[in-house]
Amino acid sequence: MLIYHYDRLTGRFLQAEGADSDPKDPETYLVPAFATEIEPPAAPEGMFAAFIDGAWGLVAEPEPDEPEPESPEQIQIRLTAVIQRHLDDQARTMAYDNIFTAVTYAEEPIVPKFQIEGAALRAWRSLVWAHGYGVLAAVLAAERAVPTEEDLVAELPVFVPPVIE
């Protein structure tokens, strides 16, 4: 015998499965809570079968919820994180832990390669943040749309590695 499980809150049909027989009476089948022996109807597009008040019915699918728009604070947090990640990723491609550790080498004269790279990354970091904060200000002032993460990174100044001899 098949039983048909449904959601306890909405009545929405979940799944069918074979019922277990009662161990005390093998001729009788167990029907657990939130299940029925009544077969649900097939649901057309945009509807679902729901077991309500002892019978199956068809219910319209709910409209998808509109996502909540980002608050200005959420936009600022997300876009600054994108910029920081972009800076850190560039530093990592050059074998530094992150942009912060890379720029600490800018004043280190012992190994000229590190000093030159650190200075170049520090200058680039300043240009990136200047541009990024300009974008953020324009977004928060509703002067432009919120860019996608990819579009924001694409419009940031490009790092030009220094020539080290």
pLDDT score at 63: 87
pLDDT score at 68: 86
95's torsion region: left (phi>0), alpha (psi -120 to 50) or beta? left
pLDDT score at 153: 97
pLDDT score at 58: 96
pLDDT score at 85: 97
Using alpha carbons, list the distances in angstroms from residue 40 to 1, 37, 44, 51, 75: 14, 9, 12, 8, 46
pLDDT score at 65: 83
pLDDT score at 67: 84
pLDDT score at 146: 96
DSSP-derived 3-state class of residue 98 = coil
pLDDT score at 97: 96
Which residues touch 8 (CB under 8 Å, ≥6 apart)? 33, 34
Tens of pLDDT along the chain (165 residues) come to: 899 999 999 999 999 999 999 999 988 999 999 999 999 999 999 999 999 999 999 999 988 888 888 999 999 999 999 999 999 999 999 999 999 999 999 999 999 999 999 999 999 999 999 999 999 999 999 999 999 999 999 999 999 999 887
pLDDT score at 99: 97
